[in-house]
Chain A
Amino acid sequence: MLKDITLGQYFPIESFLHKLDPRTKILIFILDIVIIFMAQTAVSYAVLIGFTFLLMLISRVPVKMYIKGLKPILYIIIFTAILNLFLTDGRDLPVFGYSIGITVEGAIVAVKMAVRLVLLIIASSALTYTTSPMALTDGIEKLLKPLSRIGFPSHELAMMMSIAIKFVPTLIEETDKIIKAQKARGASFDTGSIFKRAKALIPMLVPLFISAFRRADDLAIAMESRCYTGGDGRTRLREIKFTRTDLIGALAFLVIFAGVIAIDIVF
């Protein structure tokens, strides 16, 4: 059950998006988020939806993978939509002639938020499906590099992220094992009051934490044995490079984004 959790799952195929420098993709992604939240008019949303379809198309990742990525947050989307529907002040929107507390403004906000969230998730899926975790953390490290001059630990942050990602499957497997072991001893995690259930988690969390600290200790020794001294003077097996493809890609995306902003200003 826990094994079904997907996190930043890389889909190793060849596509235009796969070939782009991770830095280009990260920057486009950030820009995309900003634009998604800035967009106001229906036309600009239409353009953004078109853009998202384009992303899915050129990533060559099967559409069902994107749908799978949306599933876990479906409830959040529905929940926010309902909240917006009822809690926004404005003109009353009667349903079949009855007033049930829904407002016109609420309906607009609800749709807007739902579209925004879906676009956001698809964009982030497109990023993680087409970029290996290693390339992603490398990209983040390189992008934050200028900040390291003022003491920001860009390399350490990237290294921590990549190690955290690496240990996710190991720790999930371990959690599964501990749960089974505790269940075999009669522990129950899914009955009783919320308070009881929370308490039942303690015998699961304690061994998990202890083992995680042991692993961290072992890993530190193993890394030191392999001459790890931090980011200085470190080279990479695959240096990331900003190529002509990146320039073309970045320009194309910028044109689309500029279009959205222009549409918003004009309308």
Chain B
Amino acid sequence: MLKAEKLFYSYDNGEKKIEAVLDNLNLNIKKGEFVAVLGHNGCGKSTLAKHFNGLLTPLGGNVYVSGINTKDEDKIWEIRRQVGMVFQNPDNQIVANVVEEDVAFAPENLGIPSAEIRQRVDEALKTVDMYHYRKHAPHLLSGGQKQRVAIAGAIAMRPECIVMDEPTAMLDPMGRAEVMETILKLKARENMTVVLITHYMDEAAQADRVIVMDDGHIVIDDVPRKVFSQVELLKSLGLDVPQVTELAYELNSSGIEIDYDVLTVTECADKIMDYVRSVKSGN
């Protein structure tokens, strides 16, 4: 679905010497996969995201969307239709002053007839659970609601894939939960391919696959369980691990040996219980 081959990119900032932002990066994301991308600030996550819908084109290597090379200028609008984007600041990506008008923006640009736009808008708003707010003014909504409207705006294009660049970074815990719920629903119901760039480990833990970036490279690419068990490596890259993993890790370093490939509170509690039982029965 999304494929990067030997991708190289650097921003041209005039006289300064060229510094690679993405360096020989290879990545293949399959249809229906939910991939979380982690990495400290400035490691090139947003730059990578912008390559997936042709906002940026590679200086070296190639990026393919459903087999179409993003360098193919004739197909750029097809690529943009297939890859919906959601950005960090909800205020800066909402175009219209009524929710449903905003969701209609992309289908309008695609030249779809009015009746079908209506249908798509209603469907998209129902999917993100914002149908009730269709006549509202976006600036009066909460952050989580605005971000769901932005997601509806992307899925109204009927894309194959959604790329989200830190969609929860500016939200409160409730807004974050709303957005995560919407993402999981999209994946389960529509088999949507999702790329989620995030700073929150508990969000990444819910993905099928986690990619950790550092200085324009991919350092780790594995299932969340395996990724988060590499606590020391993650810390050396300036990243955190989910709280429960951290707990298991700290218990381990104080001599309480339990597996620390745990991702949920229940799992962690079970592991600790097992340990307690084994200690008791040992005595």
- Interface residues of chain A, those whose CB is within 8 Å of chain B, are 12, 132-134, 162-163, 165-166, 169-170, 173, 214-215, 218-219, 221-229, 233-239
Contacts and interface: CB of A to CB of B under 8 A. Distances in A.
A236 B108 contact: yes
Interface in B133-187: 135, 137-139, 153-154, 157
Given A226-B105, A237-B108, 13 more contacts: A162-B97, A165-B97, A166-B97, A166-B138, A170-B91, A218-B89, A219-B92, A219-B95, A221-B55, A225-B84, A226-B157, A227-B109, A236-B108
B237 interface: no
Main secondary structure of the interface of A (DSSP, over half): helix
Interface string B56-91: 000000000000000000000100110011010101
Contact of B106 (A163, A169, A227, A233): A227
Contacts, number: 97
B241 interface: no
The 3 closest A-B pairs by CB, nearest first: A222-B93, A218-B92, A237-B104
B113 interface: yes
B110 A227 contact: yes
B114 A235 contact: yes
Contacts of A239: 114
Contacts of B153: 226
A229 B73 CA distance: 14
B98 interface: yes
B100 interface: yes
A225 B92 contact: no
A214 B137 CA distance: 22
B226 interface: no
B112 interface: yes
B2 interface: no
Contacts of A215: 89, 91-92
Interface residues of B, number: 41
Nearest to B163: A225
Interface string B100-137: 11001111111111100110010000000000000101
B98 to A, nearest CB: 6
A22 to B, nearest CB: 14
Nearest to B139: A169
Contact of B55 (A173, A225, A235, A238): A225
A143 B119 CA distance: 28
A170 B113 CA distance: 31
A166 B101 CA distance: 12
5 contacts: A222-B85, A227-B110, A234-B108, A237-B101, A238-B114
A228 B109 contact: yes
A235 B121 CA distance: 14
Contacts of B114: 235-239
Contacts of B85: 222, 225-226
A256 B265 CA distance: 74
Contact of A133 (B55, B97, B105, B139): B97
A199 to B, nearest CB: 30
Contact of B98 (A134, A218, A223): A134
B53 interface: yes
B95 A237 contact: no
B247 interface: no
Contacts of A221: 50, 55, 87
Contacts of B138: 166
B97 A235 contact: no
- Determine which residue in A170, A235, A237 has the highest number of CB atoms from chain B within 10 A of its CB, and name it: A237
A235 B92 contact: no
B96 interface: yes
A14 to B, nearest CB: 13
A170 B96 CA distance: 12
B94 interface: yes
A229 B98 CA distance: 21
Given A226-B153, A227-B157, A235 B108 contact: yes
B46 to A, nearest CB: 10
A235 B105 CA distance: 9
B110 A222 contact: no
B87 A237 contact: no
Nearest to A229: B109
Nearest to B100: A237
Contacts of B81: 227
A160 to B, nearest CB: 12
Nearest to A223: B95
A235 B153 CA distance: 16
B109 A134 contact: no
Given A235-B111, A235-B112, A237-B117, A226 B154 contact: yes
Contact of B87 (A166, A169, A170, A222): A222
A134 B97 contact: yes
A228 B84 CA distance: 13
Contacts of B113: 235
A166 B117 contact: no
